[in-house]
A and B are shown apart, each in its own frame.
Chain A
């Protein structure tokens, strides 16, 4: 079974600085998708960024970028120029290609942004 591990239960960053959240996963599949979701106190799960395993280029969405290391099964999220609104729980998630839309989530990292 696929597993997703986030080893940092909590992280903090100063406003305007950069922070990196870690995620590792275990799978025997070669085709899959990886995601970072953000869950603010409002509880709504919001997609931050997506990475297709077949793509070597790391995904980027504005201030958010990933470092995808397929051989190491590592998928970290970098947030640049952190803003107060970035404070939330961040979840790393895995989806096997062909499994429909079933997501396997990590345990989450609570990010605090200090002014």
Chain B
């Protein structure tokens, strides 16, 4: 069974640029959630995708957007990067529709905005 993977591991971007982060869900999982974890804080929910549709969103502006593909992998896109977007971005997958919807996390992508 393949776990959740994320790419890239690290990246550095300049303020105003755009970035795409990728996540491959665990085998058999059809739901992907994205979280932002600023340094020294707990993760904050960005949004969730279930069967290729956005299915819940946290308090993040529209410049945070996402996609889920037919194989249930997902992308997180952030436009017009700001310094405060520097964080660890975590992806988690789960088997939606099957309680308790337990989530399995990937290792994260560390984004630094300069």
- Please encode chain B, from 23 to 50, with 1 for each CB lying within 8 Å of some chain A CB and 0 for all others: 0000000010101000011111100101
Report chain A residues within 8 Å CB of B33.
Answer: 100-103
Number of interface residues of A (CB under 8 A): 25
The answer to the question of B94 belonging to the interface, with a C-beta cut-off of 8 Å to chain A, is yes
- Please encode chain B, from 85 to 111, with 1 for each CB lying within 8 Å of some chain A CB and 0 for all others: 000101010101001111111111010
- Which of A44, A101, A104, A107 contacts B103, CB < 8 Å? A101
CA of A104 to CA of B42 in the docked complex: distance in angstroms?
9
CA of A51 to CA of B43 in the docked complex: distance in angstroms?
20
Task: Output the nearest chain A residue to B90 by Cβ-Cβ distance.
Answer: A45
Asked if B88 and A43 make an inter-chain contact with CB atoms under 8 angstroms apart, the answer reads: yes
Using a CB–CB cutoff of 8 Å, the interface residues on chain B facing chain A are: 31, 33, 35, 40-45, 48, 50, 55-56, 58, 88, 90, 92, 94, 96, 99-108, 110
Asked if A50 and B42 make an inter-chain contact with CB atoms under 8 angstroms apart, the answer reads: no
Task: Output the nearest chain B residue to A91 by Cβ-Cβ distance.
Answer: B42
- Which of A44, A102, A104 contacts B48, CB < 8 Å? A102
**Least Cβ distance of B111 to chain A in Å?**
13
Given A100-B96, A100-B101, A103-B103: A45 touches B43 (CB 8 Å cut-off): yes
Asked if A101 and B31 make an inter-chain contact with CB atoms under 8 angstroms apart, the answer reads: yes
Report chain B residues within 8 Å CB of A106.
Answer: 42
Can you name 16 A-B pairs with beta carbons within 8 Å?
A: A43-B88, A43-B107, A43-B110, A44-B107, A45-B105, A97-B99, A100-B31, A100-B55, A100-B101, A101-B31, A101-B103, A102-B58, A103-B33, A103-B43, A103-B45, A105-B44
Asked if B108 and A99 make an inter-chain contact with CB atoms under 8 angstroms apart, the answer reads: no
The answer to the question of A47 belonging to the interface, with a C-beta cut-off of 8 Å to chain B, is yes
Report chain B residues within 8 Å CB of A95.
Answer: 101
CA of A42 to CA of B90 in the docked complex: distance in angstroms?
13
Asked if A50 and B88 make an inter-chain contact with CB atoms under 8 angstroms apart, the answer reads: no
Q: List 12 additional A-B contacts (Cβ < 8 Å) besides A100-B31, A100-B101, A105-B42.
A: A37-B105, A44-B106, A45-B43, A50-B100, A50-B102, A52-B100, A100-B33, A100-B55, A101-B48, A102-B33, A103-B33, A103-B45
